[in-house]
Structure 1
Amino acid sequence: MTATHATVATFALDLSREEQNGRALREFIIPGVRRHAGFVSGSWLLDRDAGQSIAVVTFSSREAAESFRVDVEGNEEGRSAQGIALIDIRVLEVTATAAP
């Protein structure tokens, strides 16, 4: 499956809850994202100095990426419970990829 669009999301984190956030990422967030229609791949990045996480999730269509964006924006309650705040999420066209 080839990625055509990606979401790039930036989140503010409460780093005092880093262990809890890591567990939630591994046990709930990543499995849920994998089940999203059109999912191709995902990477979660940590900027410890800024207290931010950046998630790049690629999808097989713009529609799938837009649907995912709406789901993320609508999950304020779930994020707040984990000490995570959405700063921004965008849907971008994938123009090239590189892999080994």
Structure 2
Amino acid sequence: MYGLVVELTIDEAQADRAIEFLHQVAVPMIKQGAGFVSGTWMRSRDGTRTRSLILFEDEETADAAAERARQGLPGAPTQFVSAEVFEVMAQA
């Protein structure tokens, strides 16, 4: 199993729109993707940054998802910072 860690920034003025976009567009789209296992989306306390941990069945699907993250979703009120794939060593 492989994990994709994605970091984005959010304009504070767009915070509500970003949350709505996450729930209505991003999460449903990602859940339907090949090899998807699970995902957790988090926001910094000041509301200006997000980090996501998305687990995939294999390295290839995680790499493909990382490339899509780098391209961004049309209409997303966020700015891409980074995407990195890690091999899962343990899970509890």
TM-score of the two chains, using structure 2 as the length reference: 0.92
* Corresponding residue of 1:71: 68
**What is the deviation of 1:22?**
0.9
Distance 2:41 2:52 in 1: 4
2:72 touches 2:80 (CA, 8 Å); kept in 1?
Answer: no
Distance 1:82 1:39 in 2: 21
Q: How many residues align?
A: 92
**What is the deviation of 1:41?**
0.2
Distance 1:83 1:36 in 2: 21
* Corresponding residue of 1:88: 82
* Corresponding residue of 2:10: 13
TM-score of the two chains, using structure 1 as the length reference: 0.85
Q: Does 1:31 align with 2:28?
A: yes
Q: Looking at CA atoms only, which structure, 1 or 2, has the larger radius of gyration?
A: 1
Q: Pick from 23, 27, 39: which aligns with 1:42?
A: 39
| Unmatched segments (≥5 aa) in structure 1 | none
| Unmatched segments (≥5 aa) in structure 2 | none
2:8 touches 2:51 (CA, 8 Å); kept in 1?
Answer: yes
For the aligned residue pairs, the C-alpha RMSD in angstroms reads 1.4
In terms of mean alpha carbon deviation, does 25-34 or 81-90 score higher?
81-90
2:12 touches 2:47 (CA, 8 Å); kept in 1?
Answer: no
Q: Post-superposition, which runs of at least 4 consecutive aligned residues in structure 1 deviate over 6 A? A: none
